[in-house]
């Protein structure tokens, strides 16, 4: 019989392990029970002779609705009145996908306006040259 290592799985700084299993193991971490934000998965392995190995894996949970803000950037210096567009939408669950409301409404970028103005200017120049020749 082969002696297997015992694996203890911890989340953040909890003293009680989420799971205590023998290796090798396939484990599913349910992040729906965790709050959104930064977390650390700590895996402690103890072999039959008592030696321990530790591995810490930082990860970020984002189960809540996505929040999109347009009109201000992080660490921006602002003054006066700021018009903000804020949208928050959920992705549904793993069984159904929400199409309606999943897209983030945004204003048209300035480079698109520049392309439209340049094209309109070129079209007016072309029409002027076309009709002035005859």
| Domain range list for the chain | 6-61, 66-133
DSSP character at residue 11: E
Do residues 22 and 2 make contact, with C-beta atoms less than 8 angstroms apart? no
Q: What is the DSSP string of 27-96?
A: ----GGGSPSEEEEEEEEEE-TTS-EEEEEEEEEE--S-EEEEES--TT----S----EEEEE--B-SS-
* Predicted TM-score of the model (pTM): 0.56
**Residue range 39-51, pLDDT digits in tens:** 999 999 998 888 9
Most distant CA pair in the chain, distance: 99
Question: What is the Cα Rg of the chain in Å?
Answer: 28
The string of pLDDT tens digits covering residues 51-106 is: 999 999 999 988 888 788 888 888 988 899 988 888 877 665 555 555 555 555 66
């Amino acid at each position: 019989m082969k002696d297997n290592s015992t694996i203890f799985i911890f989340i953040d700084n909890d003293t009680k392990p989420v799971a205590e299993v023998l290796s090798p193991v396939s484990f599913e971490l349910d992040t729906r029970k965790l709050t959104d934000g930064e977390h650390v998965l700590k895996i402690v392995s103890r072999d039959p002779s008592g030696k321990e190995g530790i591995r810490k894996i930082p990860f970020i949970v984002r189960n809540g609705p996505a929040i999109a803000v347009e009109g201000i950037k992080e660490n921006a210096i602002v003054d006066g009145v700021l018009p903000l567009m804020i949208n928050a939408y959920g992705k549904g669950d793993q069984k159904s996908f929400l199409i309606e409301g999943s897209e983030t409404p945004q204003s048209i970028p300035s480079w698109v306006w520049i392309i439209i103005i340049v094209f309109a200017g070129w079209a007016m120049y072309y029409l002027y040259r076309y009709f002035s020749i005859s």
